[in-house]
Amino acid sequence: MVQEIVGSDEQESGQDEQLLQAAHLYYVDNLTQAEIARVLGVSRPTVSRLLTRARDEGIVQVTIRPWKVRDEALEQQFVQLFGLKGAIIVRGVGVYSSAAARKLIGYCAAPYVAELIHQNEIVGIGQGRTLAELAAAIRPSSALPPQALRIVQLLGDVAPHHSETLSHELTRLLASRLDGQAYYLSAPAIVESKTLRDILINSDTIRPVCAMYQRVQLALVGIGAVEDSPLVLGGLVSPEQASQMHREGIVGDICGHFYDQDGMLRATVFSNRTVGIGWDELRQCPTVVCVAGGPEKVLPILGVLRGKVVNYLITDRLTALEVIKRQTDG
């Protein structure tokens, strides 16, 4: 009986030794798992299991120096310079693409945006690629009762085919993430005439959604550079029309409304043809959060900040620095 217990202890001791050996060879000597398998005389899957156990049992402990997700000093500078309610500026390293900036902003900002959303609110959401990354990453910050939130679509859709960046899809996704009730705007973002637009917004299916716009407490919106806008990419605005607006000093659009670098609403051939939240309704929302990043968004961001169209900014550090530079250079 005693011999059996000793044998068990020896076996356990041998297993612990093997864990230590595998961990040392992998993390200290930098051997590959295949090389460790040859040294220990075991299979590669066995090495993988040993390394997993070493981490699970605390033999291997990973220590990472704290990394600040946000640039708080730069955020405070934006708040003071533009009179914002708040800002989330995500720190990035080195030079990276606009696509990488969108993913970084969406993933890193999502937990902080969740803290802005409260029970029983009406939350509006627009469209855009960065906003899509945010909606995909967001989780409720606390246990919200089902249906406590109402998520309303702020702009009609910009393309006939399915896309993860469409306002309809973002409304569905955000409502799903936060256990809220989704309210859809079943119409194109821009229609052929003011008459058709008036008919649509007064229809039985769309009128109740539009009536919610005056009660939106938090609006999450993307912005488009005028020649790279989702409206252009979706075919509702032609490249020629976008180029003409650019020559006229228009730098971007927000929820289908076009504006210049001072954030002033500009009349275009699309005025009064947009199906979605109105310009004045958007500006009257208590909190309007602009979610955008990348070099092409510098002037559009500067415009909505100068014009007080939004009062909360979410972007990345490199974009933010360029916005500051443009503002200080005049």
Residues 53-102: pLDDT tens digits?
Answer: 988 888 888 777 777 889 999 999 999 999 999 999 998 765 567 788 88
Q: Which domains does the chain have, with CATH numbers?
A: 2-56 (1.10.10.60), 72-329 (3.40.50.1360)
What confidence score (pLDDT) does residue 10 get? 38
The string of pLDDT tens digits covering residues 3-58 is: 333 333 334 445 678 888 988 899 888 899 999 998 888 999 999 999 999 888 88
Dig out the tokens for 231 from the structure. Answer: 């409206």
Question: Which among 269, 241, 239, 266 has a CA at the least distance from the CA of 253?
Answer: 266
Return d(Cα 84, Cα 91) in angstroms, integer.
19
pLDDT band, residue 145 (cuts 50/70/90): low
What are the start-end ranges of the H helices in the chain?
2-23, 33-40, 44-56, 72-82, 98-116, 129-137, 167-177, 194-201, 207-211, 230-233, 239-247, 279-283, 298-306, 317-329
Q: Examine the pLDDT at 129 and tell me if it is beyond 70.
A: yes
The string of pLDDT tens digits covering residues 245-300 is: 899 999 999 999 999 999 999 998 888 999 999 999 999 999 999 999 988 999 99
What confidence score (pLDDT) does residue 64 get? 74
Mean pLDDT of the chain: 86
Neighbour-count burial of 30, counting CB atoms closer than 10 A to its CB (0-12 exposed, 13-18 middle, 19+ buried):
exposed
Task: Give pTM, 2 decimals.
Answer: 0.80
What confidence score (pLDDT) does residue 184 get? 94
What confidence score (pLDDT) does residue 261 get? 93
**What does residue 195 show for φ and ψ, rounded to 5 degrees?**
-60, -45
Beta carbons within 8 Å of 254's beta carbon, 6+ residues apart: 126, 221, 222, 223, 224, 282, 290, 300, 304, 309, 310
What confidence score (pLDDT) does residue 3 get? 33
Residues found in the chain: 330
The number of beta carbons lying within 10 Å of the beta carbon of residue 73 is: 8
